[in-house]
């Protein structure tokens, strides 16, 4: 395993591929309007019913926030339009599926395992590790991008599924353009992904903050109750259960995988009340890591991605924004964590998890009332063998050199969190 240090975050040395992608994008006229996105989605699907039209208000807020981003170049704008159009396409197909198969609403989502925690705090490893147990239902990356299959394409749910093929092509393109992304957060098509992609079909999540500098959207999203959007998430899990045959048994065909879900999204950390309101019988797994380590990783990821979407990399502003964002997530967690029933909640502390991940997962199974069978042990062990930590190389972060920040100056800012979780306070190590 090699250590990797990105030394050109502030002044990127662009590859020829990156230069060409940026230059080619400048020749494209990008229409950041609700009508353009909805019309493109309707043309793609030949469908017209988006369901509750209030999503257009949220989409307009998102697009206005992007229009206000003076840092963003045309390549970045194209990325936003592509993502929003894909979400609008999915929304049309979701509404069509719900009309054609109303029994989807009757599917139960019993006692899901739902992971909440700061980005870069072990949520991905915990999710993918437990999802290796084939008794669980989870959502791979390729499925999250197009949860409802196109009616004119075969559904094989393997590498030949057209949705998988498209996701693989996208992954290969991103890997060529931003090769160190996989070292920070590998988004392989078979990687078990976040349910935040499903929230985005209702155009209400914090994902846009990772794509552009959009304080306007952050403020709008945080000012509005997310309970109805988490109800939409529950419906989406029902729909996915239906399409994989885990909702009504062999009535719907499919592979007959069990119905107990394992999901995660860092955003849940600041939406614990809406999450609990919609999933009252869930087991909530809350991951915890030193927030300064989380910030180092998250801000570096954003700065690295910015090399193709920003002509100038605003390192100080990126640092300020994501320090604030981490603090907001943690303050919401400390404020609301006691809403979750203690018998349905388990804290997963990052250093302990990294020291012995199998021991932590055994505790999760015990809390969830799940037997750790020999087959499950073998499946989890196989996943760990195939996915060692730092599989693609370990990134070395240096926030003092990159963002002009010293860890020692940041500890006091997070005292409210260290007081609640003292094992994470580096000053006590």
3-class secondary structure per residue, 389-411: CCCCCEECCCHHHHHCCCHHHCH
Q: What is the mean pLDDT of residues 133-147?
A: 94
Task: Reply yes or no on whether the pLDDT at 250 is more than 60.
Answer: no
The domain locations on the chain are 3-428
Nearest CA-CA partner of 239 in 152, 139, 112, 166 = 139
394 pLDDT band (50/70/90 cuts)? confident
Report the percent of the chain where pLDDT is more than 90: 86
14 pLDDT band (50/70/90 cuts)? very high
The DSSP output letter for 282 is: P
Cβ neighbors of 409 (< 8 A, separation 6 or more) are none
The DSSP output letter for 115 is: E
- Kind and range of the H or E element at 236? helix 227-243
How many residues does the structure list for the chain?
429
Angle between helices 16-25 and 74-100 (to 10 degrees): 70
Task: Reply yes or no on whether the pLDDT at 392 is more than 70.
Answer: no
Q: Which CATH superfamily is domain 3-428 in?
A: P-loop containing nucleotide triphosphate hydrolases (3.40.50.300)
Task: Reply yes or no on whether the pLDDT at 162 is more than 90.
Answer: yes
Q: Given this model, what pLDDT does residue 388 score?
A: 84
251 pLDDT band (50/70/90 cuts)? very low
Task: Reply yes or no on whether the pLDDT at 132 is more than 80.
Answer: yes
Q: Given this model, what pLDDT does residue 245 score?
A: 65
Q: What are the phi and psi torsion angles at 139 (to 5°)?
A: -125, 110
Task: Reply yes or no on whether the pLDDT at 246 is more than 60.
Answer: no
Question: Assign residue 124 a region: left if phi > 0, alpha if psi is -120 to 50, beta otherwise?
Answer: alpha
Q: Please give the mean pLDDT across all residues of the chain.
A: 93
Cβ neighbors of 342 (< 8 A, separation 6 or more) are none
Q: Given this model, what pLDDT does residue 428 score?
A: 84
Q: Given this model, what pLDDT does residue 248 score?
A: 44
391 pLDDT band (50/70/90 cuts)? low
CB 280 within 8 A of CB 111: no
Q: What is the mean pLDDT of residues 184-188?
A: 86
What the block records as the tokens of 284 is 């909530």
């Amino acid at each position: 395993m090699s250590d990797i240090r990105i030394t050109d975050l502030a002044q990127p040395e662009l590859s020829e591929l990156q230069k060409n992608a940026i230059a080619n994008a400048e020749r494209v006229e990008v229409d950041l309007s609700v009508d353009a996105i909805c019309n493109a989605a309707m043309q793609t699907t030949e469908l017209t019913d988006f369901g509750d039209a209030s999503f257009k208000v949220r989409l307009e807020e998102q697009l206005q926030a992007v229009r206000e981003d003076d840092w963003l170049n045309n390549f970045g704008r194209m990325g936003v339009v592509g993502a929003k159009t894909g979400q609008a396409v999915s929304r049309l197909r979701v509404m069509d599926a719900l009309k054609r198969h109303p029994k989807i609403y009757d599917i139960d989502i019993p006692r899901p395992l739902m992971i909440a925690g700061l980005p870069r705090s072990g949520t991905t490893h915990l999710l993918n590790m437990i999802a290796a147990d084939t008794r669980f239902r989870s959502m791979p990356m390729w499925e999250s991008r197009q949860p409802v299959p196109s009616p004119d394409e075969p559904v094989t749910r393997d590498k030949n599924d057209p949705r998988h093929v498209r996701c693989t092509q996208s992954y290969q393109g991103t890997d060529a353009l931003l090769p160190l992304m996989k070292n920070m957060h590998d988004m392989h098509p078979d990687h078990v992904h976040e349910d935040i992609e499903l929230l985005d079909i209702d155009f209400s999540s914090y994902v846009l903050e990772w794509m552009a500098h959009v304080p306007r959207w952050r403020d709008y999203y945080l000012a509005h109750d997310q309970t109805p959007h988490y109800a939409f998430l529950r419906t989406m899990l029902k729909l996915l259960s239906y399409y994989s045959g885990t909702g009504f048994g062999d009535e719907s065909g499919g592979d007959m995988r069990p119905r107990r879900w394992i999901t995660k999204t860092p955003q849940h950390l600041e939406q614990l009340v809406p999450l609990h309101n919609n999933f009252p019988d869930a087991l909530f797994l809350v991951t915890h890591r030193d927030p300064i380590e989380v910030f180092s990783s998250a801000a570096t990821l954003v700065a690295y991605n910015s090399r193709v979407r920003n002509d100038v990399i605003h390192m100080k502003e990126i640092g300020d924004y994501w320090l604030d964002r981490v603090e907001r997530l943690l303050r919401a967690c400390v404020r609301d964590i006691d809403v979750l029933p203690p018998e349905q909640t388990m804290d997963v502390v990052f250093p302990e998890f990294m020291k012995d991940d199998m021991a932590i997962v055994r505790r999760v199974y015990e809390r969830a009332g799940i037997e750790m069978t020999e087959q499950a042990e073998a499946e989890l062990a196989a996943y760990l063998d195939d996915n060692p930590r730092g599989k693609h190389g370990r990134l070395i972060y240096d926030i003092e050199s990159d963002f002009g920040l010293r860890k020692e100056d940041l500890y006091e800012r997070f005292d409210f969190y260290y007081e609640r979780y003292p094992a994470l306070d580096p000053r006590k190590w």
